[in-house]
Amino acid sequence: GNGAHAQALVIGTGYGGSVAALRLAQAGVSVEMIEMGMAWDTPGSDGKIFCTLTSPDYRSYWLRTQTKAPLNYFLGFPIDRSIPKYTGILDAEDFAGITVYQGRGIGGGSLVNGGMAVTPKRENFSYILPSVNADEMYNTYYPRANAGLGVGLVDPTWFDNTAWYQFARVGRKQAGRSGFPFVFVPDVYDWNYMQQEDAGTVPKSALGQELLYGNNYGKKSLQKTYIPAALATGKVNISPLHKVTSVSPAPGGGYMVLMDQLDTSGNVVTSKQVTADKVFFAAGSVGTSKLLVRLRDTGQLPNLNAAVGQGWGDNGNIMVGRANQIWDPTGAKQSTVPCGGIDNWTAGGAFAEVAPIPTGIETWASLYLAITKNPHRAQFTWNAATQTVDLNWQQAWKQDGITMAKSIFDRINSTEGTIYRTDLFGVYKIWNDTLTYHPLGGAVLGQATDDYGRLAGYQGLYVIDGALIPGNTTVNPFVTITALAERNIENIIANGG
By the 8 A CB rule, do 105 and 111 touch? yes
Of 87, 113, 300, 317, which one interacts with ligand FDA (CB under 6 A)? 113
Q: How far is the C-alpha of 464 from the C-alpha of 445, rounded, in Å? A: 9
Q: Give yes or no for residue 316 binding ligand FDA (CB under 6 A).
A: no
Q: Give yes or no for residue 12 binding ligand FDA (CB under 6 A).
A: yes
Q: Give yes or no for residue 35 binding ligand FDA (CB under 6 A).
A: yes
Of 61, 73, 101, 142, which one interacts with ligand FDA (CB under 6 A)? 101
Give the number of residues written for the chain. Answer: 497
Q: Give yes or no for residue 64 binding ligand FDA (CB under 6 A).
A: no
Query: According to DSSP H, which parts of 243-397 are helical?
Result: 284-297, 345-348
**Which residues, at least 6 apart from 101, have a Cβ–Cβ distance to it below 8 Å?**
70, 90, 91, 92, 93, 112, 435, 436, 437
Task: Compare residues 219 and 454 and give the one whose CB is closer to ligand FDA.
Answer: 219
Catalytic (active site) residue 93: no
Question: Total binding residues for ligand FDA by CB under 6 A?
Answer: 39
- Phi and psi at 322, nearest 5°, equal -120, 150
Q: Residue 21 CB, nearest distance to ligand FDA (Å)?
A: 11
Of 64, 411, 438, 454, which one interacts with ligand FDA (CB under 6 A)? 438
Q: Give yes or no for residue 14 binding ligand FDA (CB under 6 A).
A: yes
**Which residues, at least 6 apart from 461, have a Cβ–Cβ distance to it below 8 Å?**
247, 255, 278, 279, 281, 301, 454, 455
- The HSE-up count of residue 256 (CA atoms within 13 Å, CB side) is 12
Q: Give yes or no for residue 116 binding ligand FDA (CB under 6 A).
A: yes
Query: According to DSSP H, which parts of 110-153 are helical?
Result: 125-128, 134-136, 142-149
Q: Give yes or no for residue 128 binding ligand FDA (CB under 6 A).
A: no
Catalytic (active site) residue 376: no
Of 212, 247, 357, 448, which one interacts with ligand FDA (CB under 6 A)? 212
Q: Residue 393 CB, nearest distance to ligand FDA (Å)?
A: 16
Does an H or E element contain 431, and which?
A: strand 431-432
> 244-273: which residues touch ligand FDA (CB under 6 A)?
244
**Which residues, at least 6 apart from 354, have a Cβ–Cβ distance to it below 8 Å?**
167, 168, 171, 172, 182, 338, 340, 341, 342, 366, 367, 368
Q: Residue 13 CB, nearest distance to ligand FDA (Å)?
A: 5
Of 6, 9, 15, 120, which one interacts with ligand FDA (CB under 6 A)? 15
Of 6, 24, 31, 115, which one interacts with ligand FDA (CB under 6 A)? 115
How many angstroms from the chain centroid is the CA of residue 72?
20
Q: Give yes or no for residue 442 binding ligand FDA (CB under 6 A).
A: no
Q: Residue 180 CB, nearest distance to ligand FDA (Å)?
A: 20
Residue 132: is it exposed, middle or buried by C-beta count within 10 angstroms (0-12/13-18/19+)? buried
Range in contact with ligand FDA (rule: CB under 6 A) among 227-235, 281-289, 375-383, 441-449: 281-289
Q: Residue 19 CB, nearest distance to ligand FDA (Å)?
A: 8
Q: Give yes or no for residue 283 binding ligand FDA (CB under 6 A).
A: yes
Of 50, 213, 437, 452, which one interacts with ligand FDA (CB under 6 A)? 437
Catalytic one of 353, 416, 486, 490: 353
Q: Give yes or no for residue 238 binding ligand FDA (CB under 6 A).
A: no
- The HSE-up count of residue 108 (CA atoms within 13 Å, CB side) is 33
Q: How far is the C-alpha of 204 from the C-alpha of 216, rounded, in Å? A: 9
Of 8, 31, 37, 87, which one interacts with ligand FDA (CB under 6 A)? 37
**Which residues, at least 6 apart from 431, have a Cβ–Cβ distance to it below 8 Å?**
318, 319, 320, 398, 402, 405, 425
Residue in 266, 270, 213, 268 with CA at minimum distance from that of residue 84:
266
Instruction: State the catalytic residues.
Output: 353, 438
Q: Which residues bind ligand FDA (CB under 6 A)?
A: 11-16, 34-37, 101-105, 108-109, 112-116, 212, 243-244, 282-285, 287, 291, 437-438, 465-466, 476-478, 481
